[in-house]
Structure 1
Amino acid sequence: MRHTAPPSAEDIIEMAEAALAAMPVPLRDMVRGAAIMVEDAADDETLEELGLDSPWELTGLYRGVPLTRKSVADVPLLPDTVMLYREPILLEWIETGEDLFRLVRNVLIHEIGHHFGLSDEDIERLESEG
């Protein structure tokens, strides 16, 4: 996909949904029912919570309860979400020259993987499969 203007939040969501649909079933099942959302950058509260100084340091964040810790008796307060931060993703895209779809896919895999306790090696293997 070739862009002549910066990709919009809707463009990033479309790429993330396509990437999720192409992921291995076990990984996809981990996030069944989770919402994919895009914001331009993380807010101050999120940065403070994560101990980060700059919004440019965060390309994505998974918020929710892992399936391994959910119970049918739980009353969900909020749906699980995978937040993608558009401006830091676009900056990384510009700085690295990486294919934007692949970059969005890797951020998605990274956030899902860490949330569910996958090791960096497992995440790297999943990222290289695409």
Structure 2
Amino acid sequence: MTRRFGPPPSAADFEALAQAAFARIPDPFAGHLDGITVHVEEFADEETLRALEIEDPFALTGLYHGRSMDLDSVWTSGELPPRVTLYRQPLLAEWCETEVALEDLVTHVVIHEIGHHFGLSDAQMHALEDEAR
């Protein structure tokens, strides 16, 4: 989305951007994304921030909730399906503070959080991103 005057992108706009990012994830990864849902919230709640030891609610733009594929088992039951939560206000703030397009920010966060679905650590994802540059 280009920057323009008017209302900021809505939660529905963020969800559409996230779904577009999911659609661009290539095989073989794309074949393992069934059932992952996307949610948009304004900010992470206090409990989440405490658990992640984050003081500034603007510091968290997205979060993966669920068991990673490397830990999943046919014996696991009773859990909610995996999901990616995008935090709208922190993403809007980053969009306003940087020259990065909102689609690119959302795509970056979605792909980062999907990396957790595959069992990648933050360090591994950063290393892969560095190699891709």
Using structure 1 for the length normalisation, give the TM-score.
0.88
Shift of 1:32: 2.3
CA contact (8 A) 2:95 2:102 kept: yes
Superposed CA deviations along residues 73-120 of structure 1, whole A, max 9, x for unmatched, are 211421111010000000000000211001100011111224521511
Mean CA deviation greater in 70-79 or 35-44: 70-79
Inter-CA distance 86–124: structure 2 relative to 1 (3 Å threshold): farther
2:10 aligned residue (8, 11, 14): 8
1:21 aligned residue (10, 18, 23): 23
Inter-CA distance 123–26: structure 2 relative to 1 (3 Å threshold): farther
What CA distance in whole angstroms lies between the structure 2 residues aligned with 1:62 and 1:117? 12
Inter-CA distance 114–66: structure 2 relative to 1 (3 Å threshold): closer
Matched, 1:117 2:120: yes
Mean CA deviation greater in 91-100 or 1-10: 1-10
Inter-CA distance 124–6: structure 2 relative to 1 (3 Å threshold): farther
Of Structure 1 and Structure 2, which has the larger fraction of its residues in helix? 1
User: Structure 2: which 5+ residue stretches go unaligned?
Assistant: none
What CA distance in whole angstroms lies between the structure 1 residues aligned with 2:130 and 2:47? 29
Shift of 1:29: 3.2
Using structure 2 for the length normalisation, give the TM-score.
0.86
SS state of the match for residue 10, structure 1?
A: helix
- Alignment root-mean-square deviation, CA: 1.8
Shift of 1:33: 1.0
User: Structure 1: which 5+ residue stretches go unaligned?
Assistant: none
What CA distance in whole angstroms lies between the structure 1 residues aligned with 2:116 and 2:75? 25
Equivalent residue for 2:43?
41
